[in-house]
Amino acid sequence: MSEDIESLQRSLSETRKAMEEMRKSHEQRLSEVRLEGDRAVVLATLKAEALRLGAHNPEDVVRLMDWTEIKRDDDGQVADASSAIEKMRRERAYLFSALTVSGKSSGSTVGGLAPRPGAPPSFDARKASDQDYAARKWQFLAGK
């Protein structure tokens, strides 16, 4: 009987050791996957910002810059991406097209940088026309 208990204890300790090794292995792999995901998101954000600022080839801009300090915050947003691309624009302006001013002041119809998307303006029923108010009311009642 004591041999059975000792055998079970050895088996239990081996199982615990194997479980601990598996846990460490899984945590390490999860950490690697998170880092790969963060890197992909940061890379995509930097490319999009470079394109927004008029980069000829956003991949080259990102490849040439030092973006190791750019990280995702707790909310998943990439912090300081626009300032890093602006710095790159100042240091290596040949990678970007020249900024154009609006058509009114330059005499051309070429616009400037694309605006950043923002939140749509909130609807104020007190300032809306009767027609807009009625349309919004029917949209609300229809559940859209």
pLDDT of residue 103: 47
Question: End-to-end alpha-carbon separation of the chain, Å?
Answer: 72
Q: What is the pLDDT of residues 70-117, one digit of tens each?
A: 888 877 788 888 888 888 888 888 888 876 544 444 455 555 666 777
Kindly state the DSSP code that residue 118 receives in the 8-state scheme.
Answer: -
| Whole-prediction pTM | 0.55
> Does residue 80 contact residue 68 with C-beta atoms inside 8 Å?
no
CA–CA gap between residue 90 and residue 110 (Å, rounded) = 22
pLDDT of residue 110: 56
CA–CA gap between residue 70 and residue 64 (Å, rounded) = 14
